[in-house]
Structure 1
């Protein structure tokens, strides 16, 4: 007796379609061989012909492995949902940033913080003197000498 043929959704496709969408719009889409997402119950991977599911995302990195010669891509998400179908995955994130954008954002924030009036005020001699006095008082306190 011949076995029944698989449904059309289970054709031998080498990859699957992926869309990463945030509240700001579509961040990335394309064909992938695998995607790994931070699920609410733990990280899980999805490949072609995965069983359908709808899951919640927690904060973390979505790892994207494109089908072509492109290098793997990391996308930071703050939460949301993922819909998995045998040939398609849709990541619906509250906020999503590509890893290189995240690094640039961190660098920009650090540079702005270094130029802030408060940071500039902490680089003068008065700050150094106050800091040295505080450290001396703390060292005495740790040795059991009461705070002055």
Structure 2
């Protein structure tokens, strides 16, 4: 059994990180999942939420993702996120503004309001705020 695996984290605009990892926990559309070394091959859709990476050197990296996909093939894992930000780099003021805007949309429901989109925006802002508050800035 391998002790770690190669993990690439990508977004459409850049390569975010490439590390040797011992585990990665991700928000799948059916719930959170953890990938360990020698995981069965798969492709899964990601929901918005927190990604936690345990690196081979013992460090923990946390990211917020807003959808995407993960592919596991052998001991190679590729995470392609629609939007991704390191937890310590989340702009909490921007997240609070987005939360206020989404809450206002939901408070004034009319025929032209996309409720699913507004609820998703509210949840995304809440998750980003929560992650930012739980992460020390370095």
**Structure 2 length as normaliser, TM-score?**
0.65
User: Partner residue of 1:43?
Assistant: 32
Aligned residues: 97
Query: Unaligned regions of 5+ residues in structure 1, if any?
Result: 1-11, 113-148
Q: Which is greater in Rg?
A: 1
Contact 1:50/1:84 (<8 A) preserved: yes
Q: How far apart, CA to CA, are the structure 1 residues paired with 2:63 and 2:9? A: 9
User: Partner residue of 1:66?
Assistant: 55
Cα deviation, residue 69, structure 1 = 3.3
After the TM superposition, list the runs of 4 or more consecutive aligned residues in structure 1 that deviate by more than 6 angstroms. Answer: none
* CA RMSD across the alignment: 1.8
SS in 2 for 1:59: strand
User: Partner residue of 1:77?
Assistant: 65
| 1:106 is aligned to 2:92 | yes
SS in 2 for 1:100: helix
**Structure 1 length as normaliser, TM-score?**
0.61
Question: Which of 12, 25, 50 is the aligned partner of 2:14?
Answer: 25
Q: Which structure shows the bigger proportion of residues in strand conformation? A: 2
Cα deviation, residue 49, structure 1 = 0.5
Q: How far apart, CA to CA, are the structure 1 residues paired with 2:78 and 2:32? A: 16
Cα deviation, residue 85, structure 1 = 1.6
Q: How far apart, CA to CA, are the structure 2 residues paired with 1:56 and 1:37? A: 10
Contact 1:17/1:30 (<8 A) preserved: yes
Query: Unaligned regions of 5+ residues in structure 2, if any?
Result: 98-138
SS in 2 for 1:50: coil
